[in-house]
């Protein structure tokens, strides 16, 4: 019997998530395109900029981003790893507090301003309740990170996305989770006048029955639940201590392990 931890919710073999930074007003148009095609993603916001000219208003964060995840990006967009720890703490904890008042849920994710971080910074961020942080280091691959505080995306939207998506959808089911993670800034579509790039991508990528469309934190929570499974020595008993149903492959067939149960595979 072969067990593989390679399926997303519903037994789907692949997942797509988008991740956009800085909260400029162009996020409104981007979220509209994503909503039109059923694509989900995460918007990483600097709370000091909300309501300023060129940036999202607080009402827009509540209304326009309702179907997506609101996530942290620091209050004022500094190089966090260059700050004394107490100032980095203030940047992230205050950003969380301000964004949570709008989002109405605990904000647990972030992306690094400028994509920069250090090994010393990561435990400081963890201590603030942050569970993942996206970098800007494109992998061009489809894995999920061992350490979500170093969540390297698949690619920036301007970095060969069409070719990467083709490789993604034609890739056969593998032994591990298959995630396409695209990041960028919505103002790039405005400044480069290429909104058709993301509209075409969302039109092509949306509506597929083999892809789970999820926010960054939904990916994190699911993968964490999947990694919490425990197995008997003979592999016939599989425990899921988490609050989420998870799916695994047993001899190539999808098997749902309901939340909080121990599943027994009949011989």
Q: Which residues bind Zn ion (CB under 5 A)?
A: 21-22, 113
**Residue 74 CB, nearest distance to Zn ion (Å)?**
8
Angle formed by the axes of helices 161-170 and 195-205, nearest 10°: 10
Q: Tokens representing 27?
A: 């996020």
Nearest C-alpha neighbor of 3 from the set 260, 251, 247, 211: 251
In whole angstroms, give the CA distance from residue 171 to residue 164: 11
Measured from the CB atom, the residue of 22 and 60 that comes closer to Zn ion is 22
To Zn ion, the closest distance from the beta carbon of 121 in angstroms equals 16
Of 116 and 224, CB closest to Zn ion:
116
Given the complex with Zn ion, which of 21 and 199 has the nearer CB atom?
21
Task: Tell me if residue 42 falls in helix, strand or coil.
Answer: strand
- Least distance CB 176 / Zn ion (angstroms): 30
**Minimum CB separation from Zn ion for residue 77, in Å?**
6
161-165 own/partner pairs: CB under 8 Å, 24+ apart: 161/197, 161/201, 162/201, 164/140, 165/201, 165/204, 165/205
8-state DSSP, 148:
G
Distance in Å, CB of 185 to Zn ion, minimum: 7
Nearer to Zn ion, 21 or 221 (CB): 21
- Which residue from 182, 191, 186 is spatially nearest to 26, judged by alpha carbons? 186
Complex with Zn ion: residue 22 or 218, whichever CB lies closer: 22
Question: How far is the C-alpha of 251 from the C-alpha of 120, rounded, in Å?
Answer: 42
CA dihedral 251, 257, 262, 266 (to 10 degrees): -30
Euclidean distance between CA atoms 235 and 147, whole angstroms: 26
Q: Which one, 14 or 185, has the nearer CB to Zn ion?
A: 185
Residue 73: CB minimum distance to Zn ion, A:
6
Q: Which residue is nearest to Zn ion (CB)?
A: 21
Joined together, the tokens standing for residue 104 give 């109405």
Q: Which is nearer to Zn ion, 21 or 27 (CB)?
A: 21
Residue 108 CB, shortest distance to Zn ion, in Å, is 18
- Indicate the DSSP class of residue 244: S
């Amino acid at each position: 019997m072969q067990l593989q931890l390679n399926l997303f919710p519903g037994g789907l073999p692949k997942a797509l998530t988008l991740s956009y930074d800085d909260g400029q007003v162009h996020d409104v148009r981007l979220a509209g395109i994503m909503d039109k095609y059923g694509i989900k993603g995460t918007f990483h916001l600097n709370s000091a900029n909300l309501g300023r000219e060129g940036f999202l208003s607080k009402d827009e964060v509540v209304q326009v981003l309702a179907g997506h995840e609101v996530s942290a990006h620091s209050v004022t967009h500094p190089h966090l790893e260059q700050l004394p720890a107490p100032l980095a703490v203030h940047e992230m904890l205050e950003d969380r507090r301000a964004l949570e008042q709008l989002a109405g849920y605990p904000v647990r994710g972030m992306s690094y301003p400028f994509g920069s971080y250090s090994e010393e910074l990561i435990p400081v961020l963890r201590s603030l309740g942050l569970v993942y942080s996206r970098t800007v280091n494109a992998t061009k691959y489809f894995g999920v990170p061992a350490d979500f505080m170093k969540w390297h995306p698949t690619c920036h939207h301007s970095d060969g996305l069409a070719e990467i998506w083709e490789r993604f959808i034609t890739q056969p089911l593998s032994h591990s989770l298959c995630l396409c993670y695209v990041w960028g800034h919505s103002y790039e579509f405005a400044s480069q006048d290429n909104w058709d790039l993301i509209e075409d991508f969302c039109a092509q990528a949306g509506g597929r029955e083999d892809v789970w469309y999820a926010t960054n934190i939904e990916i994190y929570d699911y993968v964490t639940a999947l990694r919490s499974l425990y197995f008997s020595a003979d592999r016939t008993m599989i425990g899921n201590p988490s609050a989420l149903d998870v799916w695994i492959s047993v001899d190539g067939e999808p098997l749902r392990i309901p939340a909080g149960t121990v599943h027994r595979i009949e011989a």
